[in-house]
Amino acid sequence: MSLFRKIFGSSISPSDEDKEKTNSKFSPDADMMSIDEQFIYNFKKNGGKFLYCENIDEVKEQFENILEENDWYESNVLCYEPKLFNILDENKLSYEKAPNPKFLFTYCENLIANEGSILFSSNQIKQLKPHDLPVNIVVVATTSQILAVKSDGLTSIRKKYERDYPTNITAIKYFEKAKEEDFTQYGSSAKNLYLLLLEDL
């Protein structure tokens, strides 16, 4: 069993998660956490749903669990990633010019630890803005994509795409509806987001 699964195992019960949120004075000190731990802590605090996968078979299994949980079988899906089409085909999901998609199925550029956000570019979402995307998003990412801060993510994108630099670089941070008194999310577009995190280190 990997160290990552030992720390973040995907079988935390909802009641344990609630205790984690309410006992904020006992929250882990960000300075003491690795960037992996920091990302998962902040991502879950933002309302994201995290599913750790040790291999591609587990990614497919967890994806099927998400479909079942939300009754998304035989749905239309927004997906611009040819490498993910086979998973959609296996589950008989429509993705070619599909009207009113139930969810976006995609990769991302990076995962940003200090704010628990996910960085996308035009390679994943074309020129769509967050509010134009479906409310439901399923992201496949790897542990090697976790970076400390957003500036590291932008540097990574510059190195990765030396010539064909992507546009529309966007971070999505909020994954649940804001409470009425929470003004920090003003103007943001909250998403119901599942992260299938594949161990590759």
From CA 18, how far away is CA 22, in angstroms rounded?
6
φ, ψ dihedrals at 56, nearest 5°: -65, -30
Query: How high is the pLDDT of residue 23?
Result: 44
Centroid of chain to Cα 105: 10
Cβ–Cβ contacts within 10 Å for residue 16, how many?
9
Mean pLDDT computed over 50-59: 96
- CA Rg value for the chain: 17
179, 36 Cβ separation under 8 angstroms: no
**Size of the chain, expressed as the number of residues it contains:** 201
pLDDT 10s digits, 82-134? 999 999 999 999 998 878 999 999 999 999 999 999 999 999 999 999 999 99
Q: Which helix (H) or strand (E) holds 198?
A: strand 192-198
Single pTM value for the model: 0.82
Element (H, E) at 44: helix 35-45
